[in-house]
Structure 1
């Protein structure tokens, strides 16, 4: 597994909740089974899946949530190389997140501060200073809002 694969798995999992579209893959059995099939993963108990997602989203700046219960992850020796393996999606996502934390990459996961977005993104900037999921959408919208507020405060020209 590569770091990019781990990043994509964690992002895809955290963004199964899309506030902008009002969609939650975990509340749609057909969408959830498709999501799992696309990644060759099996589900676990949905309350645990939801708790893991809420806990990880809170860890990257989302709404506070209690930490999820422990999840089983095994360490196997595959062709002489230690590897974390999991029985289901929660273990796979937490194993990926753990690998990224060990590589000091976990802090690059951020949540868009736009109230109507809350999309999780991975900050690939050199100095880890990216603020928005998309500068073209959320960042631009926020800059325009701030400009309108400043212009309004100055009054008519």
Structure 2
């Protein structure tokens, strides 16, 4: 299943995965790394890396990241409604606003619940569930899902 918003979805997922639990790294710990990330994607002004980290963490919590409490973004974010080629559109001058617009669009379209966080403690990767019945649990069945099923099978076999 493809969507006309696939590029936006992928951008949002990549942003949500700027924290890597497996490697123990966080791209948003460095203002220069955040600026480079934004520039590579042509998202306009980067804004503050700390604010971006808080927005990312709030989005991850909203998507159900295990062990997270609800996190509030730093403040309401300014966006504008404009007419692009005669069609109303939300726009932002900075990267954080653009990412929040993308998340908002998913919510308005009723597909925010497809943004999920892998439950594997060593992964916690954000992914977009494209399954027909929205039942996907793992970021990858070949990696995290296989590990969990193997671990459960070994546990049952020992009993």
TM-score (norm 2): 0.90
Q: Does 1:82 align with 2:84?
A: no
Structure 2 residues without counterparts, runs of 5 or longer:
none
- Note if contact 2:30-2:49 (Cα within 8 Å) is conserved in structure 1: no
Shift of 1:118: 0.3
What's the secondary structure of 1:20's corresponding residue?
coil
Shift of 1:30: 4.2
What's the secondary structure of 2:76's corresponding residue?
coil
Shift of 1:116: 0.8
- Note if contact 2:31-2:49 (Cα within 8 Å) is conserved in structure 1: no
Structure number with larger C-alpha Rg:
1
The residue correspondences of 1:93-104 to structure 2 (distance < 5 A) are 93-104=99-110
1:106-138, Cα deviation, whole Å (9 max, x unpaired): 110000000110000000000000010001110
Shift of 1:37: 1.3
Q: 4+ runs of 1 displaced by more than 4 Å? A: none
Shift of 1:76: 0.6
Partner of residue 24, structure 2: 22
Separation in 2 of the partners of 1:128 and 1:83?
28
Partner of residue 42, structure 2: 40
Partner of residue 49, structure 1: 52
- How many aligned residue pairs are there? 152
- Note if contact 2:28-2:50 (Cα within 8 Å) is conserved in structure 1: no
Structure 1 residues without counterparts, runs of 5 or longer:
none
- Note if contact 1:6-1:100 (Cα within 8 Å) is conserved in structure 2: no
Shift of 1:47: 2.2
- Note if contact 2:29-2:49 (Cα within 8 Å) is conserved in structure 1: no
TM-score (norm 1): 0.91
